[in-house]
C-alpha cells in the first residue's frame, strides 16, 4: 500500500522557520509588554488573541498542518471548536461568581 504522503515533499525552508521564530519572539515580547498595561476587561481578550496567533503559527509551520490530510484538519477543527466552547462556558460561569 502506498503512503498518502509520498507525493508531498517535506523540503525544509529555513527562511520561513527563522521568520516564524522571530514572529514568535515578537509576540512573546508583546505579551510581556501588554501584561504590564492595564486594559481592564480587554486584558484577557488581548492575551488570548496573542496566544491564539502564536499557537496558529506553531501548528501550521512547525507542526506542518498545512500539508496534512483534509480529514485530519476537520478532526482538529472540531476539537478546537469544542475547546473554544469549553473556554467560553468557563468564562461565563466565572463571570457569574465574580462581582
Taking phi first (over 0 means left), then psi (-120 to 50 degrees means alpha), and beta for anything else, what does residue 9 get?
beta
Task: Tell whether the model's pLDDT for residue 6 goes beyond 60.
Answer: no
Torsion angle (degrees, nearest 10) of CA 21, 57, 28, 45: 170
**Cβ atoms of residues 80 and 59 within 8 Å:** no
Spatial contact of 61 and 20, defined as CB atoms under 8 Å apart: yes
Residues in the chain: 99
Task: Give the model confidence (pLDDT) of 16-38 as tens digits.
Answer: 999 999 999 999 999 999 988 99
Tens of pLDDT, residues 46-72: 988 999 999 999 988 888 877 778 888
With 0.75 as the threshold, say if the pTM is over it. no
Give the model's pLDDT for residue 5.
53
Which pLDDT does position 7 carry in this prediction?
52
Amino acid at each position: 500500500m502506498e503512503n498518502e504522503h509520498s507525493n508531498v515533499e517535506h523540503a525544509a525552508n529555513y527562511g520561513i522557520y527563522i521568520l516564524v521564530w522571530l514572529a514568535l519572539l515578537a509576540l512573546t515580547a508583546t505579551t510581556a509588554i501588554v501584561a504590564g498595561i492595564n486594559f481592564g476587561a480587554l486584558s484577557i481578550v488581548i492575551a488570548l488573541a496573542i496566544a491564539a496567533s502564536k499557537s496558529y503559527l506553531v501548528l501550521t509551520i512547525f507542526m506542518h498542518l498545512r500539508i496534512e490530510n483534509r480529514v485530519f484538519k476537520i478532526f482538529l477543527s472540531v476539537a478546537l471548536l469544542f475547546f473554544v466552547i469549553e473556554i467560553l462556558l468557563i468564562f461565563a460561569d466565572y463571570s457569574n461568581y465574580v462581582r
